[in-house]
Structure 1
Amino acid sequence: MKVAQFSNCVSAIALVTALAATAPALAQQAPAAPQEADGLEVVIVTASGGNRTQINSSVSVTTVNAQAIADFKPSSESELLRMIPGIQVSGTAGPGGNSNIAVRGLPVATGGSPFVQIQEDGLPTVLFGDIQFGNNDYWTRFDASVANVEGVRGGSASTYASQAPGAVINYISNTGLQQGGYAQLSTGLGFSENRFDFRYGGPISDQTRFHVGGYLKKGSGPLDAGYDVSNSYQIKGNLTHDFADNKGFVRVLVKIADTQEPNYTGSPALASINGLEVSNIEPFPGFDGRTGSNYSVYNQDFLIFNRDGVLERVKMDGITTKATSLGGQVRYNLNDNWSVDNNFRWTDMSGGFAAPFLNVATRASVIGSVISRPGLPNATVASIRYAAGPKAGQAFTDTYLDNNVNVRTNIRDIGSTANDLKLTGNYDTGFGALTARVGYFYMKQNIAMDWHVNKSLRELSGNNPSQLDLFDAAGNKLTQEGISGYNNNWGDCCARDYDLSYTNTAPYIALELDAEKFALDGSVRFESVEASGNTVAGGSEFLVNSGGVQIATIRANGARENLNYTRDYTSWSFGALYKLNEDTSFFVRRSKGGRFNGDRQTVSGKINANGSLTQAGRTASVDFVNQDELGLKNRGDLAGGRYTLEFTLLQGDFKQSTFELSATRCPGGSGGCVIDAKYESSGAEAYATYRNGPFSVIGNATYSNAKISRPTGSGASGPFTRAPGIPDLSFTVAANYDFSDKIAVGVSTTGQTSSIDDGGREYPGGAVLNATAKYSLLKNVELSLSAYNLFDKFDLRGNGGVVNAGVNPAVISGNPALGRTITAAIRYTF
């Protein structure tokens, strides 16, 4: 635990407690928790008007409650999202985040979550889901304070939220409607990780209630880093006061978070390759991605050339976040027909991204290579030696090594101010209930960062790999601590320093007509995004003396790009619902939603010298997603139990122009390029629940036929081919059985079918099986065991690339799921 910073946690609890003791008039109506018997009766509060149940709404929406998430035991935040149909993510990036979250077969062209917005209590944590080195899954953590996670795909996500035409995923807080809580201590069995979770809330008076919850976590993790790469806490609290006579509520929300979690960047593996088919995948000797990573005690800190122009030693601490937020929610019923809602949040937030990226290369490709030394003759590599560890100074003779970066990005400011104001009127027309809404959304998002991408070399090992130093034929050292270049691994594109601000305003209107047998709705959102600030790119290479070694360096002192433009666009959505009976409804929907390209538009040649957009920049600054949906919602009795079913047929398309900073997908393997492509997808998604006495099961599946059209050499659109990284089918199923009041067990599985890489090579699908067992030692004391990947399957979900196809088995790289990970916990409920 971060003792020196824990005073912030105490301050947060003290603030909420003080508010609870003194507040005569603070609150909001809490979102209804999912009913255990029938989730289709849950009132939708995400990307909607907030007055319809799931079965009576013409949108695809899923609510997963906290208990279902705890039973599933996801290995990371992104794997939690696999519980929501339509969301396609490998779930292997680790607890820090940095996942590529696709939705409904609409792929991620470069990185992040361009079409998915993650919210906390109805407001986005960051405005854009694919901020470079600041993806939206960094900033939100599921903990005991969360009552449920709600996901709306397509439909009203385009018009009730900004920058979210694909989906909105909302983490909804428990607000203390019922007295009680729990404290839970969990620990890894066979690995170093301890976590303390807690929550408590309840009424203070007839009209006032509170809730406080959060977690503390520390350890080296299941992929043993050799040091405490996990070191986090988060405290969230809220205080609600309900007005008399059902007039509404007012609520204050507080969050304090200081998190440090690893980002896993993959591992090597062995495989058989026959044409474009990759099969028989198994762990690489000495680097089993189920249990090891390229984090290392010998690389837990490293040197960067910082923005002040000096060498600075920084920690290899994964993805770090620091956040303090204060929010307020108000609903007031003006009369029987009109109500006003307002949701506000101010957030002071910063962080960092530090990771040893993985790229498997041969030792032979390094020997004889040339190292640039501006102002001096270039040097030729003649030998490689261990830079640290028990073999320090000895010759390195392994066949393979890892020649990817040590990267450190300082996220100096990613704070924001957001507000969503909505006026709602309801009238009975005699033909049906007519609801009209007028809203206005405002959010100012700061993005200030400096990037430090070092050329780095280390041994290919999953057990504390050593950095590797290079030497010329005369024995002169060419690197320092395995670093051969500061800030220059991807060229002058990526020694970047910027301070940007985006202000998004969006008035929106919606009309709904709800008759006995059918419902109609339509909504329009008018977006305006104002961009300001500047970006400074890298300059020319120069030499820096690092411990007596001259290291080639780039600093962000090159061309300055100023932003001074505004982009306006419109999104809309129209739907119709037919109610066959109280247990069955059908819906159709058509939507067009836009999302703005934020910081990824910078340093791309699409901004004029005066800060305005070029014509190409105006076209590329907004990506539009078109979607059509046909859905069924049904519930009923089955074999003595009760079931619910949500099924949606869908198709969609979009065109995206975005900047890729690394050599991952750039032609010729150079860093920094603009990727233009068209995408289309058709498919289906399903979510079902079943409960029969002590037995319950929930499951979802997403089928996608996703395609991509890349420009030809002449700039024309090429043919549509299968999109990389999107499996045809992904699924999650979790089942639980209560044997008695004392014993309960559960099993779950998550998996997917095959997917292809950028070269068209097809990698097999797979699934992992998880299990939980609970035993009530006393009335209020529960012991539990949770096993992730019970059968220790090597499940390579995030396909990577082929390193060496000339050997048998071939050497490849990718991102496997965690291996067997067992956690024990004790919970005291009060």
Structure 2
Amino acid sequence: MKFRHALAFGVALSALSNPVFAQDEAVADQSAEDGEFDPMNVIVVTGATTGERSRFETTYAITVLDQDELNRRAPSAISDIIGTAPGLYVESSGGVIGNNVYSRGLPNDNYRYIPVLEDGLPVWEEGAGAFTNADIFYRVDQTIESAQIVRGGSASITASNAPGGVLNIVTKRTAPTLEGIAKVEWGDYDHFRGDFNLVGPISDDVSFHVGGFYRSDNGGRDPGFNGNRGGQFRAGLTYDDGENSLYVGYRKLADHAIFYTPMPLASTDEGLPGLSAQDGTLYNSDWRNFIVPNGNGDFETDVDLGDGVYTNTDTLTVLGESFLNDWLSINVKGRYTSGRVDYIGLFSNNVETVSDFQARALGSLQGADPLTTGVVFRNANTGNDIAASDIGNGLVLTESIFATFVDVENLIGDISFNGEFDRGSITVGYYYSNFDQRQLWNWNDVLVEALNRPRLLDVVGQDASGNDTVALTLNGLSNLHGNLQLFTDHVEINALYATGSFDVTDALRVDAGLRYHMVTKAGTIARTNSIDLGNPDTIVDDNVAVFSGGVTPYNFDTDQLAFSLGANYEFNPDFAAFARYSRSFRVTPEFQQWFNCCGNVEDDIELLEGGLKYSRPGIGAFVTLFYNNFPNIAFSNIGANGQVESATAAARSYGVEVELNWQPADIFDIAVSGSLQDISYTGFSGTDANGPFDFSGNQIRRQPEYTASIRPTLHLLDEKLDIFANAQFIGRRYEDVANTVELPAYTVIDLGADLAVTDRISLQAMVTNLFDEVGITEGNPRAGAISNTGGPIFQGRPIFGRQIRVGATVSF
């Protein structure tokens, strides 16, 4: 666990020479005998056809985490892995899934500009679609050999729709001898997790692997039930005779993950009394189950908030390579995924004081029954009255239950020919993908108070004698079918790509690549009308959307070109420089066709980067400068009731990224990384309900101007004990484009230890957010993302408070 682990980020992957990444070899383990690390000698094998490349020969910025570094960081989500790379900012406050990833000022969230690949193929083709985020389709476990994060425009050749970068997860599929690992982990918040992985040879040419995990916990904010439960299992066989190889693997994901959204806070650094920012939640096991109307208006749909985001998918992967002669090889890859995603969660909507809510409710109830003179609150579970003065913090919250049911199917194929020459290599390939999805949205609202695990509220009108007149709600439901939708989509992608890498001299290497992307989309949007469901005791069902039986079809097609040019020059064995220019694109996901809300394509994205690299035994430094220009941003935001904000804008960003590792002594090393950037809209103007606006020059929403990470490690007891820390510094951000809601800077410190009890047994301990810091990662986007006044009460999504985990690992 010496400096070679701390410097894992520096391992370079020559992705542009093989746009589907290396799968057959891990990073070569130089100087393993004496533990000394020499960054210049770190080698990456990008496939047998492209040979070995040191990181000084790469022409782009890249971060690589091996399995040891992943275990040390203990990421709970894919976003945690991506966030290790400077220039990439992530929001992981939502839990295991549904998090947001930002790259170098690219102005949209989700996984919009950074695809997630597993062994060179997407885990799901459209990783930034509505309710099909990339992290929904994959979980981090012990079957990962390494995680490789390419930043910047070169990723546009590796994958379509990747102007910001790409994450490729390389799984451990082969080993020369039998290897295994088993790990169990316990923690607060009822956390238990078990991982295992076993890999080894069956014969000289055939090997196997099998692994996965199971875990159960309440999600870090105790709702009274285990919001996270389930796991992932994989198995596969590899045939490799030295000339031909074939891998066939299967992965099953069946996992529930609770998803957290903003909640009311006293301020941007403090929760409300009885609703802690660190561990409070608006979920409550007392009212997790609801029966809501189906698309026909019949109360037959069961919604269980305890199900959370349930992913149930089966994935089959095939990878093959064959050498046709001594200079030409063919690579074939395929993946098929099918299954279902049930996306159920509470989403922040509206906050009102009790008095304001009562006044509004009284007006609505008097319209239905003029005898109504007052409004009373009741516990929707017990039927008991609740005095207005006893409503938690004097606030009534409207929370939206997003119940979205998605059927998914995705077929992917990739074939490429790789040619090796004396001073270079060329790859040409064809990529195909089609996916089908059916999305049913059945969203309904509930009323709760502003407390941890709050009571569910009913609201009833009364006459002057105290008799009930008519109710505003029904079993806590305050709005039925706030958003009822049914979409079907068929998307087909064809892409041609080519890359070339050439050693002009022993010191100078240049490469170039292009990707021509063609996409066609066809689908339907179900039509609705509104009806009265006929319950005379409540007004909540007086105007409910139902499906009319008709559909609106759509069709769309486009073709886009991305290209990238790069060069690397090695001044001497310790000092090198690189530069790259790329032009890329992003085809907007399917919600553009659903809502006709925004631009179809973000095209002509220009990305320029260059940097210096220095490495000697015990020290490594990497500095990258970048400039990005986004002339055509397709901006959109879906509110709680389905309203869509949209705009077309322009933006630019420039900045510097730094990675530094230093080991001054055998017992100590330190890693520092960070970025400083100027990110702003260069064109964001128009007219809204309040009149003309111009937000040009404002800071791009929800991204900081600086981030930094400092990671010291002590190696004690003859390197049997590692004690490590991670201090993360996140700069100020804004919730909205207008920069009216500020999200302050914050600092989080994690502390951990790893003790090797024997050569095969180790113990781990980790404390995240050691000082229980409050940090807000977003305001309430449902209240508006272009201009958001924040409302009378601030709502925000805080990071998780202090959490403690301990574990034991056995390996052989």
Deviation at 1:584, TM superposition (A): 2.4
- Which whole-Å deviations, capped at 9, do the CAs of 1:467-498 have from their partners, x for residues lacking one? 1111123423221221122221xxxxx42101
Question: Which residue of structure 1 lines up, in the alignment, with residue 402 of structure 2?
Answer: 407
Deviation at 1:303, TM superposition (A): 2.5
Question: Which residue of structure 2 lines up, in the alignment, with residue 81 of structure 1?
Answer: 82
1:183 aligns with 2:159: no
Question: Which residue of structure 1 lines up, in the alignment, with residue 666 of structure 2?
Answer: 693
1:620 aligns with 2:600: yes
1:368 is paired with a residue whose SS is helix
- Which whole-Å deviations, capped at 9, do the CAs of 1:702-749 have from their partners, x for residues lacking one? 222111231223999863321121111112333332212543221112
Question: Which residue of structure 2 lines up, in the alignment, with residue 749 of structure 1?
Answer: 727
Question: Which residue of structure 1 lines up, in the alignment, with residue 252 of structure 2?
Answer: 256
2-side partners of 1:717 and 1:458: how far apart? Answer: 37
Out of 672, 680, 694, which is 1:707 matched to? 680
- Counterpart residue type for residue 816 of structure 1: P
- Counterpart residue type for residue 183 of structure 1: A
- Counterpart residue type for residue 472 of structure 2: L
Preserved CA contact (<8 Å) 1:82 1:732: no
In structure 2, relative to structure 1, the CA distance for the partners of 1:328 and 1:169 (3 Å cut) is same
1:495 aligns with 2:484: yes
- Which whole-Å deviations, capped at 9, do the CAs of 1:518-545 have from their partners, x for residues lacking one? 1111111111001012122443353364
Question: Which residue of structure 1 lines up, in the alignment, with residue 610 of structure 2?
Answer: 630
In structure 2, relative to structure 1, the CA distance for the partners of 1:213 and 1:336 (3 Å cut) is same
Preserved CA contact (<8 Å) 1:230 1:262: yes
Question: Which residue of structure 1 lines up, in the alignment, with residue 764 of structure 2?
Answer: 784
Question: Which residue of structure 2 lines up, in the alignment, with residue 683 of structure 1?
Answer: 655
Question: Which residue of structure 2 lines up, in the alignment, with residue 23 of structure 1?
Answer: none
Question: Which residue of structure 1 lines up, in the alignment, with residue 293 of structure 2?
Answer: 305
2-side partners of 1:477 and 1:389: how far apart? Answer: 15
Deviation at 1:773, TM superposition (A): 2.0
In structure 2, relative to structure 1, the CA distance for the partners of 1:648 and 1:459 (3 Å cut) is same
1:395 aligns with 2:384: no
1:769 is paired with a residue whose SS is strand
2-side partners of 1:105 and 1:569: how far apart? Answer: 22
Deviation at 1:577, TM superposition (A): 1.3
In structure 2, relative to structure 1, the CA distance for the partners of 1:461 and 1:439 (3 Å cut) is same
Question: Which residue of structure 2 lines up, in the alignment, with residue 20 of structure 1?
Answer: none
1:562 aligns with 2:562: no
Q: Which moved more, 1:380-389 or 1:169-178?
A: 380-389
- Which whole-Å deviations, capped at 9, do the CAs of 1:3-58 have from their partners, x for residues lacking one? xxxxxxxxxxxxxxxxxxxxxxxxx9523147483567342759x97864432111
**% identical aligned pairs:** 23
2:130 is paired with a residue whose SS is coil
Deviation at 1:676, TM superposition (A): 1.8
1:601 is paired with a residue whose SS is helix
In structure 2, relative to structure 1, the CA distance for the partners of 1:776 and 1:587 (3 Å cut) is closer
Preserved CA contact (<8 Å) 1:480 1:546: no
Question: Which residue of structure 1 lines up, in the alignment, with residue 98 of structure 2?
Answer: 98
Q: Which moved more, 1:497-506 or 1:282-291?
A: 282-291
2-side partners of 1:501 and 1:216: how far apart? Answer: 33
Question: Which residue of structure 1 lines up, in the alignment, with residue 711 of structure 2?
Answer: 734
Q: Which moved more, 1:533-542 or 1:247-256?
A: 533-542
Question: Which residue of structure 2 lines up, in the alignment, with residue 491 of structure 1?
Answer: none
1-side partners of 2:153 and 2:83: how far apart? Answer: 20
1-side partners of 2:701 and 2:723: how far apart? Answer: 37
Preserved CA contact (<8 Å) 1:249 1:330: yes
1:137 is paired with a residue whose SS is helix
2-side partners of 1:250 and 1:704: how far apart? Answer: 44
1-side partners of 2:321 and 2:480: how far apart? Answer: 53
Question: Which residue of structure 2 lines up, in the alignment, with residue 385 of structure 1?
Answer: 377
1:369 is paired with a residue whose SS is helix
1:163 is paired with a residue whose SS is coil
Preserved CA contact (<8 Å) 2:480 2:540: no
1:358 is paired with a residue whose SS is strand
In structure 2, relative to structure 1, the CA distance for the partners of 1:310 and 1:576 (3 Å cut) is same
1:417 aligns with 2:417: no
Preserved CA contact (<8 Å) 1:710 1:719: yes
- Which whole-Å deviations, capped at 9, do the CAs of 1:604-640 have from their partners, x for residues lacking one? 347xxxxxxxxxx8x6334442101112222113xxx
The 5 Å alignment of 1:423-442 reads: 423-428=417-422, 433-442=423-432
2-side partners of 1:226 and 1:121: how far apart? Answer: 38
Preserved CA contact (<8 Å) 1:72 1:734: no
- Counterpart residue type for residue 695 of structure 1: F
In structure 2, relative to structure 1, the CA distance for the partners of 1:52 and 1:792 (3 Å cut) is same
Give unmatched runs, 5+ long, in structure 1.
1-27, 272-277, 489-493, 607-616, 664-668, 804-808
In structure 2, relative to structure 1, the CA distance for the partners of 1:801 and 1:212 (3 Å cut) is closer
Preserved CA contact (<8 Å) 2:157 2:514: yes
Question: Which residue of structure 1 lines up, in the alignment, with residue 111 of structure 2?
Answer: 113
Question: Which residue of structure 2 lines up, in the alignment, with residue 72 of structure 1?
Answer: 73
In structure 2, relative to structure 1, the CA distance for the partners of 1:373 and 1:207 (3 Å cut) is farther
1-side partners of 2:484 and 2:568: how far apart? Answer: 52
Deviation at 1:261, TM superposition (A): 0.8
1:292 aligns with 2:280: yes
1:219 aligns with 2:217: yes
- Which whole-Å deviations, capped at 9, do the CAs of 1:784-804 have from their partners, x for residues lacking one? 22111111112223345899x
Question: Which residue of structure 2 lines up, in the alignment, with residue 774 of structure 1?
Answer: 754
- Moved >6 Å (runs of 4+): 371-374, 378-381, 546-549, 714-717
Deviation at 1:548, TM superposition (A): 7.4
Deviation at 1:779, TM superposition (A): 4.3
Deviation at 1:283, TM superposition (A): 2.2
1:78 is paired with a residue whose SS is helix
In structure 2, relative to structure 1, the CA distance for the partners of 1:243 and 1:598 (3 Å cut) is same
2-side partners of 1:756 and 1:718: how far apart? Answer: 13
1:445 aligns with 2:423: no
1-side partners of 2:567 and 2:287: how far apart? Answer: 57
2-side partners of 1:291 and 1:39: how far apart? Answer: 42
1:823 aligns with 2:805: yes
Out of 809, 812, 815, which is 2:794 matched to? 812
Question: Which residue of structure 2 lines up, in the alignment, with residue 19 of structure 1?
Answer: none
1:585 aligns with 2:576: yes
Preserved CA contact (<8 Å) 2:23 2:119: no
In structure 2, relative to structure 1, the CA distance for the partners of 1:751 and 1:424 (3 Å cut) is same
User: Aligned-residue CA RMSD in angstroms?
Assistant: 2.9
- Counterpart residue type for residue 59 of structure 1: Y
Question: Which residue of structure 2 lines up, in the alignment, with residue 193 of structure 1?
Answer: 191
Deviation at 1:170, TM superposition (A): 1.0
Preserved CA contact (<8 Å) 2:77 2:139: no
Question: Which residue of structure 2 lines up, in the alignment, with residue 520 of structure 1?
Answer: 510
In structure 2, relative to structure 1, the CA distance for the partners of 1:685 and 1:382 (3 Å cut) is farther
TM-score (structure 1 length as normaliser): 0.85
2-side partners of 1:518 and 1:401: how far apart? Answer: 65
1-side partners of 2:795 and 2:432: how far apart? Answer: 43
TM-score (structure 2 length as normaliser): 0.87
Give unmatched runs, 5+ long, in structure 2.
1-21, 31-36, 784-790
1-side partners of 2:431 and 2:127: how far apart? Answer: 17
2-side partners of 1:814 and 1:636: how far apart? Answer: 45
- Counterpart residue type for residue 56 of structure 1: E
Q: Which moved more, 1:119-128 or 1:673-682?
A: 673-682
Out of 439, 449, 459, which is 1:470 matched to? 459
2-side partners of 1:378 and 1:577: how far apart? Answer: 77
- Counterpart residue type for residue 270 of structure 2: E
Deviation at 1:590, TM superposition (A): 0.8
1-side partners of 2:222 and 2:613: how far apart? Answer: 45
